Amino acid sequence: MRAFLLCSLMLVCSEAMRLSTAHRPCLRRSRLSMQAEDPLFGGPAYPENVPGIGDTFTIAILGDLHIDPRFFGPDSDHIKGREHFMPIVMKKDGTPRPNTAVVSVGDLGESKPCFPDSKELFAGTTACFEAAAEYLKGFKVPYEVVGGNHDLEGIDEFPTDATNLEAYLRILGKPSAQFVRLIAEKTLLVGLGSTVFRDAQYTSHEVYIDKDQIKWWEGLVKACPAEDGWRIFMFSHAPPMGSGLRVLQENHVVNGCCWLNHSGKNTAKFIEVVRNNPCIKAWFSGHFHLGQDYEDSITFPAGKNRGSCVFAQTSVMGRKSTRDSRRQSRLVRSVSVSVNLRDACLGTPDSYC
């Protein structure tokens, strides 16, 4: 049963969307995508399917996929979940809707052996990345991915984090662990991905954003101030500490892998940047495998504690991955000068949505 439930949430209501393009980053067209000439924007920055920038856009946000090749046929939860989104991201004539993208918040594969006579975990392997890339390409619109705590777990196939990361980036068509995409007029999608597993100082399942990514991100945010009309939508696998989202005390908190860089010295860096930069309007994450209908599955700005940002937990597609029977995704769509956040309920009639 498909349903897109409108949350009573207005992320943005500002005529700044219609301000002049004087501060738009310099862009040039290539065959594959639009690339930013400014190194600050390194990576895909402009959807190929947009002939001219505008105000309207659509973002389909997918939580932890945990693809299992044993349960990945035409009737699987993931394929049916994608079918729910297709009328939203595609026009009736089969062409992509303008300014549309899919974002996966990581954990692409199942962290278990999935092939006969093999003890190798599927997550973080070449086969996992290929399955995820094929699945995401099936949405037929541009897609982005951020790495989660299981995405460099191919420890039997790859000897180092560096070689594992190289395969992940190459197969998924990513120039770097982070991404930035100009989805609409002065509206950026920005993602930060985990880059450490074997070399983790504490737990391997900490979602760790390296210093180079953080430096890049801070520079990008400063270059796109709210007073110039910029809006930034953030994506990461785990949320930043201070987001106020529901967490699992006995699982993630006690093991030091609940928030971004949980066990490091710069854990507070992410929320500090949010507090100091009102251009950051929303932050989407997954990681907890929890539904989206809890009171604290979405948190709102509280004074200056969370800046101007709405934080949103994203659930899972597969019933093998859910911790509370919920199977949901997120859908963000702009309407006039506002942006609406919706729940995409992917369950069957006997599921909670």
User: How many angstroms separate the CA atoms of 98 and 50, rounded?
Assistant: 5
pTM to 2 decimal places: 0.84
Q: How much is the pLDDT for 2?
A: 42
Among candidate residues 205, 193, 197, the one with its CA nearest the CA of residue 157: 197
User: How many angstroms separate the CA atoms of 301 and 305, rounded?
Assistant: 7
**CA dihedral sign, ordered 341, 10, 278, 246:** negative
Q: How much is the pLDDT for 336?
A: 62
Q: What is the pLDDT of residues 62-93, one digit of tens each?
A: 999 999 999 888 989 999 999 999 999 999 99
pLDDT band for position 312 (50/70/90)? very high
pLDDT over 60 at 18, yes or no? no
Alpha helices by DSSP H, listed for the chain, are 77-89, 126-137, 161-172, 211-222, 269-276
Which domains can be identified in the chain, with CATH numbers? 3-10+29-345 (3.60.21.10)
pLDDT band for position 240 (50/70/90)? very high
Q: Beta partners for 157? A: none
Q: What is the pLDDT of residues 179-224, one digit of tens each?
A: 999 999 999 999 999 999 999 988 888 999 999 999 999 999 999 9
The answer for 23, left when phi > 0, alpha when psi is -120 to 50, beta otherwise, is alpha
Among candidate residues 34, 16, 33, the one with its CA nearest the CA of residue 25: 34
Q: How much is the pLDDT for 27?
A: 26
pLDDT over 50 at 351, yes or no? no
